[in-house]
Structure 1
């Protein structure tokens, strides 16, 4: 395979492996769910076919044997239990390892474990009398005319039929047709065959699992076996040009050029010996190739999406400059063109942003697998509850969320949740619970992970922090400040190091990653009842709608999603130079910050100052500004490493006149305003 083909194969195989893992984990909790069992079998079958299609015989061979063994589950001869799920997950991991170039020899031990576990109650073989009185199946079918054009491989269908006991497979010659204007052999998609009498109808229909659209199938019991066109039985009919010319004569096909087979595909049985060669061909015109309904989705490399987003960002900046130039020129035609481009750029931005948005559910499958493995590693019974899987975030955020959430889950399972004996003594259910939730909150997405375990030990945290010199022995800290200490590098209160946690590394990684995503972390804990860690993350890292403001002659941007309302600053408070005060809005006191003082701006303040009310972190504050300029599309540019210590700003943007405006970090300002307000009120 070339690099592009291998990328397609790998993406498809990884998607199927992930689907297989999710279904196996769901099957663990619902072992009698027939649709899940069928789904697992379908994933196995598709993954096997994908491997065979792309020449990965190691994957196809392993999954063929595994699929055969798992057929005992599908046919209800054995039941699903935790051990079977564990073996099946190990098989899934082996396939993932094969994709990464791992040794294929490990598969034999997995298959051996599976065979040993499947205690199948074999049915007694049919006696000769029963066999003699049970008529074989007569099968007649036609695949969709678009099968070959859409990448289908009839040879795989025929090979699957052979596997379930089909014989005397032959083309339906009276249904082969073509005309002078086309060299189309795609119509040779109709066959008939005999199938062993003891083969189940489900097994026969299962051969057409991925060719059901447009399929015409007749399946009946026949007292007499079908006759071979040559008067002798064969597994498959080998076609050649001469055979096709003869068929054309017998079927009285109008004179014309006989299509030449494009390729011959050998179908092999399990022993590896070829049983026949099936001639196949492809349509020769573009119209024929596109006549059928195409796929609903198309795979696009993530790098192309990133590049497209960069281009859209540059377009937005250029559009802002054009609007600025058009406004200064006063030329009506130029203003009209600029407004049209602005409208189109906005639509393109929204489309590009929607493409980048990914639901949280795209990564929750691996968390279910993690909890399954944690249950085995810790000996604790753990249930995972996931809420808000449809909540969407920028794909860049989603990609980087996996490791932090895994660290948090490992910590919760190892340190937070008690073992069944301890839980029983405390009056709790034997099974611990982890609850992962996601929801929107203004311009943010809140992702929370809760457990119902023992909670954080405040005294142990304080003692450890004092020993490491992080705080003074007599320091007075709020619960939130104390909880934040667990994210310090190397901080751990664990008495011993386990395979899961205890080295004080994971939580530091969590905080660093979330801060790089311009997010924050809140921790709430109640001793004996559990801990909740909440990650507050921006909806996107690329382009936002911004409110452009002016303070002391400098321009800044406030994310519009955080803006709740704008009011006039009362004249009585206009001359007050204090850093904090309260503003009464609809009979409620609202703390507000004077950004002029906070940002150390020079010059006289505007006589008609405005208060922009913003919300974040479940809090609200007012931000006093000199002037509201208007709204604009804001392309977020990351600050340099030298400026990351400036918590007041989350990034910068380029305005239409080419100048730079800093983007205010609203969650940080709201936290500061609320804290100052509480201090003032006290």
Structure 2
């Protein structure tokens, strides 16, 4: 693995750790005495620091070291978790992210910002006693040849700040085996041993038991492994984290052992070479050449004295039990003898119990790991561009399948028809499976907003709780990535304009703490995302007045309350009395509208003055392949997303009222406006005597689209348009039909809004 690849792997893992760090800090703020959360924060920081140093990110390692010391003191109950500590930790986390990505406009990632944050961190440490700076020590290089000196244990003294004895230390035995067994392969284990040394007392031994007989020895193969005894108060998971970023592919086994437990590696011993090596046999040469490796003695269970006496019939089992009941515990015997104190015995018993618990946990983890081994082995990280290519190829397959179906229909061959139907089923299954790979839970996006709500509510002096539901709801990766910014804008506006101040809420009879509810759910082929706040709500009269003042609508426009609320999505609209850093900068909600339009979604809004506002976003599950209704107008073909289609009806000449300025059809006593695609796109030719109306439903509005003929439902592979056609109103994309001709995909939400606006004006 090259250095660039190793650094890129570190970046990816560091991003995940920083995300985990942010969510854990938020949980720790609500439960400041949760030691598990403290250890989780410490572990993430320690992993980032150690791995950063291993891969040349010295600035990250040095900066993280001070923050790690803070949480080390929190772990040892020398420092309390406060709001200031959490705030500084968030700032430090953002700076580490800046060091990863490069300097930001906010200053994160610059040396000046780093020094500023370090001053704040050291102020937190000021009340406690500072630990001395660690001395740099060198770890002996990993060997690839067998020498007597290399087989001897290497004592690695811990750093001063880690060497202080703490209660609850355990001894772990690490068995490290390189998977790459080529001698020429550089191992670079020195940084790894150096990081292990920082965790506690560390003893490293070479494991030479894998050496074969001399006749079977391959000079190009590495036969050595390493055994490490580590005494530390760090948990097993933290130890494993150090191995995440090493550029050596290793197998790692960790066992809990008693301190001073004997090694299973026999002591090496070398015999002198015979004067004439050629006179010895291959086996004799192998025995003289390599260290003598003793076979491990077979373990057997020695029967106890009481058991032997019971078996011989000398005593009965119940008599043995009574005799054993009269025995005193060894601790009591030693205490009565004056050899140890009661306090020493209590500490030893506690340490013994801790070792038992650790061994039990390890056995439980081993059993769980064996059950999950199949699942873990089946997980695979794939580059996004490779996945995008796969989706594109599946899209092309769907197009080819449609072309084959059309040819088969023309030939009327029953055998070809059966094969075509089988191909259609397979391509459909492949399509669904491939698109399923791209689906991600929306909870990964929701979790990012907890920090946003915390910071902005503190800045505005408001108390706001973010509640999320439906985090397991899945969306296409592309949709999810592009959804983040509009959701941020909506939540910022809810915090700034929606939620009242604590004083205003008390006067209104509400609890001081406001609430923003963020939820997601599946609805057919769509995903619904709702942002609900229990704030002051929207004043539709004020919105209308502002729109008239800005010239966005005419004063005599007749608008329903719902239509008035939708005015907030017009460019340049704002009701903010003053410009703030949160919102009201002249970039209004039209940014959100355009972003949702680009995702082929729709926005609905409901608000009750004094009670709150709910904004609902409807999005397709994927942007790659959809089910569409194909229609025709004068030989030109169009596709309407099937999720927006409610029904299809015929339009007769008698249904058209020429006296009406607007085109409206009376559909079961409901007046439904409609547009002619022929007129909209200025297509020449005479319409048929009986036209078809496709009734669509968008944002609570029903609008008809008049076409010559409804062709039918088809899988539609969406192709993006070129720059020239990208801004054509009413068109969102294109697709290739089975006969190779092009069909345009209608932008139904934009068409509906145009009709509604025309009626309003």
What TM-score results when the alignment is normalised by the length of structure 2? 0.68
2:734 pairs, out of 627, 637, 652, with 652
Map residues 663-682 of structure 1 onto 2, 5 A cutoff.
Answer: 663-665=745-747
Map residues 524-673 of structure 1 onto 2, 5 A cutoff.
Answer: 524-550=606-632, 555-562=637-644, 576-577=655-656, 580-581=664-665, 605=688, 617=699, 629-639=711-721, 649-665=731-747
1:324 pairs, out of 406, 409, 420, with 406
Q: In structure 2, what is the equivalent of residue 504 of structure 1?
A: 586
Contact 1:620–1:674 under 8 Å retained in 2: no
SS of aligned partner of 2:616: strand
Worse-matched range after superposition: 177-186 or 75-84 = 177-186
Q: In structure 2, what is the equivalent of residue 191 of structure 1?
A: 228
Deviation at 1:181, TM superposition (A): 6.6
Deviation at 1:20, TM superposition (A): 1.5
| 1:219 corresponds to 2:251 | no
Deviation at 1:469, TM superposition (A): 1.9
Distance 1:341 1:591, change over 3 A: same
Q: In structure 1, what is the equivalent of residue 433 of structure 2?
A: 351
SS of aligned partner of 1:658: coil
Worse-matched range after superposition: 32-41 or 411-420 = 32-41
| 1:441 corresponds to 2:523 | yes
Map residues 109-120 of structure 1 onto 2, 5 A cutoff.
Answer: 109-118=116-125
CA RMSD of aligned residues (A): 4.6
Q: How many residues align?
A: 607
Contact 2:734–2:743 under 8 Å retained in 1: yes
Deviation at 1:385, TM superposition (A): 1.4
Contact 2:538–2:608 under 8 Å retained in 1: yes
Distance 1:669 1:494, change over 3 A: closer
1:423 pairs, out of 505, 510, 523, with 505
Distance 1:480 1:616, change over 3 A: closer
Deviation at 1:474, TM superposition (A): 3.9
Map residues 243-254 of structure 1 onto 2, 5 A cutoff.
Answer: 248-251=290-293
Q: In structure 2, what is the equivalent of residue 240 of structure 1?
A: none
What is the distance in 2 between the residues matched to 1:81 and 1:619?
A: 51
Could you list the per-position Cα deviations for residues 598-636 of structure 1 after superposition, in whole angstroms to 9, with x for gaps in the alignment? 8798657587x8887765546778878776544322112
Contact 1:523–1:534 under 8 Å retained in 2: yes
SS of aligned partner of 2:291: helix
Deviation at 1:331, TM superposition (A): 4.9
Distance 1:47 1:186, change over 3 A: farther
Map residues 19-30 of structure 1 onto 2, 5 A cutoff.
Answer: 19-30=20-31
Q: In structure 2, what is the equivalent of residue 99 of structure 1?
A: 100
| 1:46 corresponds to 2:84 | no
Could you list the per-position Cα deviations for residues 427-475 of structure 1 after superposition, in whole angstroms to 9, with x for gaps in the alignment? 1211122222222333332222222222223344333322222223343
Deviation at 1:361, TM superposition (A): 1.8
SS of aligned partner of 2:15: helix
Contact 1:442–1:616 under 8 Å retained in 2: no
Q: In structure 1, what is the equivalent of residue 75 of structure 2?
A: 74
What is the distance in 2 between the residues matched to 1:505 and 1:470?
A: 15
2:457 pairs, out of 375, 382, 389, with 375
Distance 1:317 1:168, change over 3 A: closer
What is the distance in 2 between the residues matched to 1:472 and 1:575?
A: 34
Distance 1:222 1:658, change over 3 A: closer
| 1:360 corresponds to 2:442 | yes
Q: In structure 1, what is the equivalent of residue 12 of structure 2?
A: 11
| 1:393 corresponds to 2:475 | yes
Deviation at 1:105, TM superposition (A): 5.1
Contact 1:171–1:192 under 8 Å retained in 2: no
2:173 pairs, out of 136, 141, 144, with 141
Distance 1:155 1:141, change over 3 A: farther
Distance 1:427 1:160, change over 3 A: same
Worse-matched range after superposition: 640-649 or 57-66 = 640-649
What is the distance in 2 between the residues matched to 1:404 and 1:653?
A: 27
Q: In structure 1, what is the equivalent of residue 392 of structure 2?
A: 310
What is the distance in 1 between the residues matched to 2:176 and 2:654?
A: 80
Deviation at 1:353, TM superposition (A): 1.6
What is the distance in 1 between the residues matched to 2:288 and 2:64?
A: 40
Q: In structure 2, what is the equivalent of residue 90 of structure 1?
A: 91
Deviation at 1:252, TM superposition (A): 5.7
What is the distance in 1 between the residues matched to 2:711 and 2:263?
A: 86
What is the distance in 2 between the residues matched to 1:137 and 1:435?
A: 44
What is the distance in 1 between the residues matched to 2:70 and 2:445?
A: 30
2:552 pairs, out of 470, 488, 499, with 470
What is the distance in 2 between the residues matched to 1:147 and 1:76?
A: 41
What is the distance in 2 between the residues matched to 1:673 and 1:471?
A: 15
SS of aligned partner of 1:143: strand
What is the distance in 1 between the residues matched to 2:595 and 2:515?
A: 25
Deviation at 1:89, TM superposition (A): 0.8
What is the distance in 2 between the residues matched to 1:313 and 1:140?
A: 53
Deviation at 1:420, TM superposition (A): 1.4
What is the distance in 1 between the residues matched to 2:223 and 2:579?
A: 64
Deviation at 1:408, TM superposition (A): 1.8
Distance 1:246 1:215, change over 3 A: farther
Distance 1:461 1:619, change over 3 A: closer
Could you list the per-position Cα deviations for residues 31-68 of structure 1 after superposition, in whole angstroms to 9, with x for gaps in the alignment? 33344333322322332233233221211222233223
Contact 1:580–1:593 under 8 Å retained in 2: yes
Higher relative contact order (CA 8 A, sep 6+): 1
What is the distance in 1 between the residues matched to 2:618 and 2:202?
A: 63
Contact 2:38–2:75 under 8 Å retained in 1: yes
Bigger radius of gyration among the two: 2
Worse-matched range after superposition: 418-427 or 23-32 = 23-32
